[in-house]
Structure 1
């Protein structure tokens, strides 16, 4: 393969600028030192700026979102370096429409909400890493306890619609974490930090990270390691992971290929037992789970037993992505991918006789294996009648999912862990096969108006086998056609009105289909009609603004109850129809655009209002809950940041965040001070801050903290009241050189 040649582009590459080149625009992931941009004007233009995202499997959105036909946001590498997020949840706080809840302190057990969706385990959001879903299984069990470490992320993309090019789990939106690309500039980075979480037994938190990105001729390589050991919300929680990632990219004259993959090892002293009792008792014991358990405020009245409860996971993943630039107007991209996620949680049973001297441990042992292939093509700037042009994109995808779900139980006084999982106590095998196809075209109706019609087809088959009772076995087939129409209108220079409609699909959680006495019951599919209209502008230099109204009607809406079944698993209920109406807005103002100075004072804010309503439905006991709010849907969510930057390398800011209140049940029970495990969760204002200073060109010192006032608040009410993490501060250094 020959190296790309591009006269007149080297200066732009060296400066790291994104600017249009003759015949097209530089692609975001082609700014590097191993070759200039490929001679593919169409692929370059769609990746740089346009009404739709590129077909590139890594990049979901164009680099410049101004003319995009829908609601979308990006957390850039510059944002990540300025914000110094301790978690991926922190990194998303500036995105309107996004709300996060961390029930483990460091956001490892993912809790992301989009536009009012339930946050727990991010079950209603398609969460991707380099374009591949990291939900356990979008068709069988869409939760996730994993997101990539922020240290190896170069951007986060959020697409809220309209959309047909990604699915399922696309009623509320899609999030894509982009890893370090092997086609970036040469660099080696070392980063380390220590800190403290108030109320945790963990003496000292520590974070470490190293990555290198190197290239020879037309070959680029990334090697990355990240690790964390930290305290959690309860005193007994200790969170830890070791993460490895690698990628190799090869470029030729009209194609490139990337091999990437990684291994994530998670070992947490963590369980899902939470506080029951009165509010005064909760305030008395605060984050001391051991003393509260000995007092009878947890399912197991044995404080020392909670040291034995663990969550463990080994996650392997891999992907091969190939881009072929057929000609100046045609790009074909193909990838194959797979993952293997082995996770198990072990805990002391609340049916133990007399712990800790006489106890029994149980476990939830789950293995997910997914494989898939995806191919997409783009034909750009094709002639259409009336002098119009359009850009067509189409793609197909096939996936197979395998889910082994087992209960575990140990012998009397037998300690269970990841290497000793106990005896089988009920097992299920679940499978899914899915085929999806989409097509959309961006029609340039006028010089300022683009219309994007599209359609998506989802066909999938799920299989359920109860290994203890074959009479419960069953299979179900589903298909869904999902139309879309979006638009982008440049109402005035650098001001775009956007919006449209799309139908979305969220398959139901399958593992509890035996909750009824009738055996296997085919789970229903969740289908939504989603509308939005908005406007974004950067017409005034130094000021950006984006506001959108959205409306969703969703049928067969599944949600998780705030308690578990007798089998130790979370119960999922369904409502006939729910509705979400909301407004989201974001803005940023920088003083440097108005005043020539080495200082830049800036302010940015994001606010989301969601009015959720159960249009029709009954709760588990049969009561009519029509007119109530949707469980786990926050009405208000806000973030306000003020900061200062200086040319010397100083960057400091503080953020006031309002994590809104929500109901945890369809009955909308109020908060009960005599029993804090039921009822509404109150909203809370939280303060965070961060600062960094460039000591030398290579060395940066930084400090970051969350919940700096050490506010005592309930963050969730699932299997009891769960407290938010105490004041957490981390300080460290980052050393970066070529």
Structure 2
């Protein structure tokens, strides 16, 4: 930290010669394009091309994944340009181990699962943006209602372990969205599209985006704007956001500094009330929430009232990242960061007397404020026992989290919204202070075999303050050592065996579940033992594949059991032990490797099998549920894509995505006629996209999801939630260099 504070801006601004030329380095980082500003530091190159993560925390994965000591995947800039995903869920379609469930039309209310974890709000995985968690608070409330717009994302890294350099929420894995870097090539981009979602009140969807990335000497700048207005799953849902992002980067001979930040404003006509009744009634009303409400199939028997229910969020974030290249084998990477997330949801209460003429509105008003500092150092290619070498990495991180959780209540016939939040009904203040440190070393046992032992220490203190009843107040401190051992072995040319073990940690959700007659109840920490082994290969030109087996035993496994009967927050319960065994496969073949042609025809497939099991646990009423499937864990997920590309600029593909069946509760005996209960069936969904370069700079594109307009239940959280209807968007992108 002292080194960071002592950094001289004057030194950063001083132009220098190319260090890559001095060192003979020829490999450029395809994600960060290090030579763009006339600078190309080589410290950390071992990690960028080697078996462990780069020391820069914004990049969980090396540029070349071939010999990475663990299971990992990257959605590249080329993938994003070719596939033109409408949402983060779409962008992750071809990543093995990933399953997604859309809770809204464009994936804003995040639903990402990794290796059988529950998808709802992506609570069980660490979701990051440029290396900073975007879970509301990993130590207090790990829900996620935000992911960055895909228009300003350069790549997405998915790290499934083993790992000690990221945590907590690291039993199942980490997803990191990397924003446009100011150290990339100069460009200015304008993009716009219009489209429709079938079965909703929003007549026309629209998206718009513009960004510019410019540089002068060794200073680079990125400015970006993205916006969207679209329909959702029910007729009453209308979704909208405006997003602003900026970054300034300065490069010197031995250091670089990046200051970045943004503001995301979300305004949705959206609520968490879903359908109750029979399957015949659901098929009768389909997406018509307003008429179904009048029929009594929603908690509030008032159709127009669902136009008044809103979700609102203002999200501010900032980061200062500094890399000091002490010499060509030693790098110190330090970051300061913070975010302020104000989200409020308002809805007509089901206890209203006679809506819409006589109603009462309630609100869930939450404010999250987090600050942190992270510093990591790497010593590359150190001698060990004479002939061996090792790359040592170590880091420390400190964070403070504040969570203000308020329930709001309006007066009779008072409309609540973001500007008028009503009276304070209940209030809690939750806090967390966390300190983490890690160390790992990549030991080059032979030129082809690397062993990576490591350890992480997590120490955090949580505090719970019920501002209405101090008898519920309490504090808890946790300390946990998380060991790791991983390896990679290139036993044949460009064919690598990888795997290992790590212990993971997931703090429990800390809010209403802690209010008990006996006062504060310290939540248990969720600990997992995670094993995996896999093989990745590109030995045959034009063919790549990756197959992995994984196993996790997780104790004190927390899950969302139900919603409160009075319409309140979700109730979280714990199982003594849950187990996940699975296999994931990914393969791609490209014709251009076999046939000399301007055409490239390709096929891509991913498949994940997860056998989840409650090893030991009881339901809320005391019934033994051992042997049942883990709630919200899908057994099968798959994606099959066929595509064709032409040198003239034509690119098109079609995908069949299978989202497997799962239970939202403890799969106890239920009423088969009630759509709120039972297993959610698996479903195949058809999507496609196409683009064509009209000129060198102008591209026309079209993309569509659920093209057959499949009518299906996507979730049963607080009633039956429908999957989004057929959605098509078409537009133009102008990219000037």
User: Normalising to structure 2: TM-score of the pair?
Assistant: 0.97
Q: Is the 8 A contact 2:667 2:679 kept in 1?
A: no
Q: Is 1:260 aligned to residue 260 of structure 2?
A: yes
CA distance in 1, matches of 2:18, 2:348: 64
Q: Which residue in the other structure is 2:142 paired with?
A: 142
Structure 1 residue 227, shift from structure 2 partner: 0.1
Q: Which residue in the other structure is 1:529 paired with?
A: 529
Matches within 5 A, 1:287-298: 287-298=287-298
Structure 1 residue 32, shift from structure 2 partner: 5.7
SS of equivalent to 1:66 = coil
Q: Which residue in the other structure is 2:9 paired with?
A: none
Q: Which residue in the other structure is 1:679 paired with?
A: 678
- How much is the aligned-residue C-alpha RMSD, in angstroms? 1.3
Q: Which residue in the other structure is 2:4 paired with?
A: none
Q: Which residue in the other structure is 2:541 paired with?
A: 541
CA distance in 1, matches of 2:718, 2:687: 28
Q: Is 1:235 aligned to residue 235 of structure 2?
A: yes
Q: Which residue in the other structure is 1:13 paired with?
A: none
Q: Which residue in the other structure is 2:17 paired with?
A: 5
CA distance in 2, matches of 1:668, 1:150: 39
Q: Which residue in the other structure is 2:601 paired with?
A: 601
Structure 1 residue 447, shift from structure 2 partner: 1.2
Q: Which residue in the other structure is 2:423 paired with?
A: 423
Q: Is 1:35 aligned to residue 37 of structure 2?
A: yes
Matches within 5 A, 1:272-311: 272-311=272-311
CA distance in 2, matches of 1:678, 1:192: 41
Structure 1 residue 28, shift from structure 2 partner: 3.8
CA distance in 1, matches of 2:564, 2:149: 30
Q: Is the 8 A contact 1:30 1:37 kept in 2?
A: no
CA distance in 2, matches of 1:106, 1:501: 36
Structure 1 residue 173, shift from structure 2 partner: 0.2
Structure 1 residue 26, shift from structure 2 partner: 2.8
Q: Is 1:441 aligned to residue 459 of structure 2?
A: no
Q: Is the 8 A contact 1:649 1:694 kept in 2?
A: yes
CA distance in 2, matches of 1:567, 1:329: 57
CA distance in 2, matches of 1:636, 1:442: 34
CA distance in 2, matches of 1:416, 1:335: 39
Q: Is 1:391 aligned to residue 391 of structure 2?
A: yes
Q: Is the 8 A contact 1:501 1:530 kept in 2?
A: yes
Structure 1 residue 666, shift from structure 2 partner: 1.4
Structure 1 residue 517, shift from structure 2 partner: 2.0
User: Normalising to structure 1: TM-score of the pair?
Assistant: 0.97
Q: Which residue in the other structure is 1:575 paired with?
A: 575
Q: Which residue in the other structure is 1:645 paired with?
A: 645
Q: Deviations over 1:668-719 (max 9, x none)?
A: 446x442111111110000000000000000000000000000000000000
Structure 1 residue 37, shift from structure 2 partner: 4.4
Q: Is the 8 A contact 1:71 1:160 kept in 2?
A: yes
Q: Which residue in the other structure is 1:622 paired with?
A: 622
Q: 1:319 to 1:535 in 2, by over 3 A?
A: same
Q: 1:616 to 1:7 in 2, by over 3 A?
A: closer
Q: Deviations over 1:118-167 (max 9, x none)?
A: 00000000000000000000000000100000000000000000000000
Q: 1:362 to 1:454 in 2, by over 3 A?
A: same
Structure 1 residue 105, shift from structure 2 partner: 1.6
SS of equivalent to 1:215 = strand
Q: Which residue in the other structure is 1:714 paired with?
A: 713
CA distance in 2, matches of 1:186, 1:681: 48
CA distance in 2, matches of 1:207, 1:251: 34
CA distance in 2, matches of 1:301, 1:588: 51
Matches within 5 A, 1:366-385: 366-385=366-385
What are structure 1's unaligned runs of at least 5 residues?
A: 10-19
Q: Which residue in the other structure is 2:408 paired with?
A: 408
Using the TM superposition, name which of 531-540 and 514-523 deviates more: 514-523
Structure 1 residue 524, shift from structure 2 partner: 0.6
CA distance in 1, matches of 2:44, 2:563: 49
Q: Which residue in the other structure is 2:95 paired with?
A: 95
Q: Which residue in the other structure is 2:5 paired with?
A: none
SS of equivalent to 1:471 = helix
CA distance in 1, matches of 2:535, 2:65: 12
Structure 1 residue 516, shift from structure 2 partner: 3.0
CA distance in 2, matches of 1:362, 1:393: 50
Q: Which residue in the other structure is 1:319 paired with?
A: 319
Q: Deviations over 1:233-259 (max 9, x none)?
A: 000000000000000000000000000
CA distance in 1, matches of 2:151, 2:496: 33
Matches within 5 A, 1:693-704: 693-704=692-703
SS of equivalent to 1:79 = helix
Q: Deviations over 1:324-352 (max 9, x none)?
A: 00001100000000000000000000000
CA distance in 2, matches of 1:8, 1:256: 15
SS of equivalent to 1:513 = helix
Runs of 4+ in 1 over 4 A off after TM superposition: none
What are structure 2's unaligned runs of at least 5 residues?
A: 1-12
Q: Is the 8 A contact 2:472 2:515 kept in 1?
A: no
Q: Which residue in the other structure is 2:492 paired with?
A: 492
Q: Deviations over 1:205-248 (max 9, x none)?
A: 00000000001111000000000000000000000000000000
Q: Deviations over 1:23-81 (max 9, x none)?
A: 574334552665344342x412322x110010113211111100000000000000000
Structure 1 residue 5, shift from structure 2 partner: 2.0
Q: Which residue in the other structure is 1:590 paired with?
A: 590
Q: Deviations over 1:645-672 (max 9, x none)?
A: 00000000000000000011113446x4
CA distance in 2, matches of 1:39, 1:708: 47
Q: Is the 8 A contact 2:39 2:251 kept in 1?
A: no
Q: Deviations over 1:262-282 (max 9, x none)?
A: 000000000000000000000
SS of equivalent to 1:355 = coil
Q: Which residue in the other structure is 2:24 paired with?
A: 22
SS of equivalent to 1:487 = strand
Q: Is the 8 A contact 1:513 1:520 kept in 2?
A: no
SS of equivalent to 2:291 = helix
Q: 1:263 to 1:7 in 2, by over 3 A?
A: closer
Structure 1 residue 562, shift from structure 2 partner: 3.7
CA distance in 1, matches of 2:134, 2:250: 25
Q: Which residue in the other structure is 1:247 paired with?
A: 247
Q: Which residue in the other structure is 1:127 paired with?
A: 127
SS of equivalent to 1:263 = strand
Q: Is the 8 A contact 1:611 1:635 kept in 2?
A: yes
